[in-house]
Amino acid sequence: MHILITRPEGKGTELALELQQAGYQTTLCPVLTLDYLTVNSSELAPLENADKIIFISQDAVHALLKLTPTINKAAQLYAVGQQTADAVYEAFGRRAAVPKQHDSEGLLELKTLQDVELSNIVLVKGEGGRTTIAKTLKQRGALLNQLVVYKRSAIESEPGKWMDHWQTIDVEGIVITSNAAVDAIFNGLNEPQRAWLKERKFFVASERIADYLKQQNVARTQIHIAAGASDSAMFTCINQQGSKMSEAESKQPAKAVTAQPEKKAQTTANSGAKAPVQAKKGISKTGSLALLISLLVASAVGYEFYHKLNSDQQSAVALTELTDENQRLQQQIDALKSAQQTLQHSLYNSEQKVTDALNESAEQTQQQLQAALKRAEQQTFTLNPQEVTSLQRMAEFKLWAEHDYQGAAAVLSRLDSLLAEHPSTGAIRQAIHQDLQTLNAIEPVAVEAIYLKLHGINQKVDELLFNAISLPEEVVKEDPNQLSENVSEWRQNLAKSWQQFKDFFVTVRTREDMVIAPFLSEQERHLVKQRLSLYLAQAQDAVLSKQSSVYFSAVDAAHSLVKDYFKQDDAQTKAALKSLAELSKEQLDFSPKVSLQSTEQVKEWAQ
């Protein structure tokens, strides 16, 4: 059979070599090209938090590896086929789960892909492929991200030229591993070319491709489905079909051979029918020839009788020897039977001993288990007062020393479960449940939320705008005290000199615009913002150290500072004032007064 391999360039070489070694003719004719796509970092981001990553093909693995992604080390990896799984191991050093049936349906039947609700799954695939997997996983409630890393494109060539070449070399079978290859082959063909192509045998990688071929009106009998897209699976499928064809061809020449002996037999029979006629004519001529023949026949019969007599004597001797041999064999069989009976008796005795030993051991084990159960029951129904008192003291310690109300409730719940098996502790359990109601009603202070809110305000301090304006430009006037160069004006120059001397000690500057806000220097502004940050940091420390009075003082001081020094109509100032007002209303009751009713009950019970 002449096999045409349409896989992309560089992928069908090993399959071609295997087929050639098995006696097939092969032709490599790629009909598709593979182009790796450039993917941005936002599209690769889901790989970092993925719970499961599914690789559709080897090309998906190689294309993703070129992008050097960051993959979640805890993610479970999946591959549609074994070769894809090997590629995953070579690329990322991790094993991928592979279904028994190397296709989409087989992958979706894996147990770990059944319950995937709210699981982050990334499907690494080619453009437009494997829609069944994506659709099914979405129906199962998965959070699916499809990462397209390559695309298949038909090689730029006229399909009609392919058909002419394939017809010339008498192609009988065609290997197809994708729906895109089907489109590349069938598109653009005329009706005679389609008719010739439909008569070829198609070896495909999955049921999905077979169904796609049926849409091209290819008969199902012409389609043979391999166990996957690997070279070994394809070779097995082609070789099985080739063996069936060889057997069918080998049966046809066998019929032709058997027909020839029948013809020869007929010829022999016809010649034999004529022989008696010729013999009859000879006997009528010579009577002496008949007498001679009779003598010869009598001699032959006598010799045969003598030979038979000697043969009977020899047979009798052989029969005697066989009888003796049978007797010896019978004696050996009897000895073997005796040995077998002895062995069976020994085995029975041994089996009986083993059974007795096992029964004895089982009885001892049962007795030990019953004794252990009795001890456990005694321990269960014997309540240790020291353990009860210890748990109660631990609850008090968490309540008064650590102010851990949830921890105290947890300890009391543990004490309640311990007392539940003892009917005489009803009063203590009632007191414990009252204490649990009281502790659960206490709302814990949201220390972390308050701390983070203060931190957020502190980060925005530098963006607050001060409630001060820039001073207007000074009015530049001509200097009236400028000295004259005229000597006669010495009196005026003397007066001007005296005025300059006074101005050196007293300076009066005039401005045209009215100043309505105080002027702050850069150093003063820096000190105001630094002071505001210190108030906020003081409030954070007070929350952590559970000092409510210090907290409220610091928050009020920060609120006043923002209100006095910063623009009230600015968005940042409004947000800061709003947050500080909310923080000043927080209920910081770090140590509410709680008394445990169960304490007195435990003391009375222990006494």
Q: What share of the chain is helix, strand, coil (3-state, %, to 5)?
A: 65, 10, 25
Per-residue pLDDT tens digits for 532-574: 999 999 988 988 888 888 888 999 999 998 988 888 888 989 9
Q: CA-CA distance, 174 to 171, in Å (whole number)?
A: 8
Residue 241 pLDDT level (bands cut at 50, 70, 90): confident
- Distance, CA of 413 to CA of 409 (rounded, Å): 6
Greater confidence (257 vs 238) lies with 238
- pLDDT exceeding 90 applies to what percent of the chain? 15
pLDDT tens digits, 32-86: 888 889 888 888 888 988 999 999 988 899 999 988 888 988 899 999 988 899 9
CA separation for the pair 241, 247 (Å, rounded): 10
DSSP E strands, 75-178: 76-79, 120-126, 143-154, 173-176
Answer whether 0.75 is exceeded by the pTM.
Answer: no
Percent of the chain with pLDDT over 70: 77
Buried b or exposed e, range 386-410, using 16+ CB within 10 angstroms: eebeebbebbeebbeeebbbebbbb
Find the mean pLDDT for residues 376-384: 57
CA distance 303 to 309: 10
pLDDT for 305-341, tens place per residue?
Answer: 555 656 666 666 667 777 777 777 887 787 777 677 6
Phi, psi dihedrals of residue 383, rounded to the nearest 5°: -90, 130
The Cβ of residue 538 has, within 10 Å, a number of other Cβ atoms equal to 18
Backbone angles phi, psi at 264, to 5 degrees: -65, -40
Average pLDDT value for the chain = 78
Residue 128 pLDDT > 70, yes or no?
A: yes
pLDDT at 262: 39
Higher pLDDT, 236 or 256: 236
pLDDT tens digit sequence for 180-234: 888 888 887 888 888 898 899 999 988 888 988 999 889 999 999 988 778 888 8
Q: What's the average model confidence in pLDDT over 442-451?
A: 79
| CB 128, CB 212: distance < 8 Å | no
Neighbours of 531 (CB within 10 A): 14
Task: Note the Cα 65 to chain centre separation in Å.
Answer: 17
Chain Cα centroid distance, residue 210: 28
The neighbour count for residue 91, using CB atoms within 10 Å, is 15
Is 600's pLDDT higher than 50? Answer: yes
The candidate with the shortest Cα–Cα distance to 429, out of 376, 388, 378, 380, is: 388
Residue 77 is predicted with a pLDDT of 95
Query: pLDDT of 105-118, one tens digit each?
Result: 889 999 999 999 88
pLDDT at 260: 40
C-alpha of 588 from chain center: 47
pLDDT of residue 302 exceeding 80, the answer is: no
